[in-house]
Amino acid sequence: MNLHQRTNRVPGMPDAVTVYEVGPRDGLQNESTVIPVETKAEFIRRLVQAGLPIVEVTSFVHPTWVPQLADAEALLDLIGPNSPAPMPVLVPNERGLDRAIDKGVTHIAVFGSATETFAQRNLNRSLDSQFEMFAPTIERALAAGMRVRAYISMCFGDPWEGDVDEREVVKVGGRFIDLGVEQISLGDTIGVATPGQVTSLLRWFDSAGIPPTSLAVHFHDTYGQALANAFAALQAGITTFDSSAGGLGGCPYAKSATGNLATEDLVWMLHGLGVRTGIDLESLVRTSSWMAEVLGRPSTSSVVRALAPTSIDGGELPEEDRKQ
């Protein structure tokens, strides 16, 4: 595996960023076949060993809606409580929070919408009334000493409503901040954003007094713009980036959405810019190559496809991985 890469610093870039890995949750939730819980636990273990500083592992959503994550409790039991990296879980409501508290979870995320239609379709709530559900969940989580993140979907475009008013996105974000969340993740759920849109929305947040340190970005690659959008966000001061190992994932409620920004592609760009991530890219590529073998299809990550030793991507899987 040839990882030779020249580093060129660009003025204004941060020295380091946090890569927020969502592969085990957002990446695997759309798979058509059930993945054994032991395989998921092994995937998470390998991601942590590769240096991912935070790994979102599962969701306590009702299994009727996301059957791939019906094994949430069993997965947390296999992972155990002593991981060196935080392992957030997504909780949709107070019932999900109860399950998280019962398992000793310390980091949670809630999932809201920037548009009326998606709120109705995804949460069965209006844009305003979604906060009636989130408020007690966030309040209880904070009282329990948990750290809370909020996802906002459809920040750049909605398949039913089209363009999304940036002022509405900022308004939703501000309401989450007022509820006490630590960080807002701005989602390009259907992957329609371009770098100029990213820059513009982040300026709106800054004008509203919500700094880049309170924000993360979550890009999908439907139109091949995810990495360019990440660069625009980096230039705007964002230092937390959601991504998925191997480019796994999508959105079960937005059928046009393809995979998330691939963690390997993001890390390759960041390391080339001299931005530290703490991630061992070679180890991460091996992990995504192994998962590609498990799923029986090539990774969508350009970096994995360029460097991977797996037979699915044109080479031979290492012996220790063939035994899994």
Please give the distance of CA 10 from its chain centroid, rounded to a whole number: 26
Radius of gyration of the chain (CA): 19
- Residue ranges of alpha helices (H) inside 50-158 are 72-79, 94-102, 116-123, 130-143
Which amino acid is it at 15? D
Round to whole Å and give the CA distance between 264 and 103: 31
Orientation of helix 37-49 relative to helix 72-79, angle to 10°: 50
Orientation of helix 195-207 relative to helix 226-235, angle to 10°: 30
Running DSSP on this structure, what letter comes out for residue 28?
A: T
Indicate if 251 belongs to the active site. Answer: yes
The answer to whether 69 touches 58, Cβ cutoff 8 Å, is yes
Running DSSP on this structure, what letter comes out for residue 135?
A: H
Query: Which candidate in 181, 251, 261, 307 is catalytic?
Result: 251
Q: Which of the residues are catalytic?
A: 251
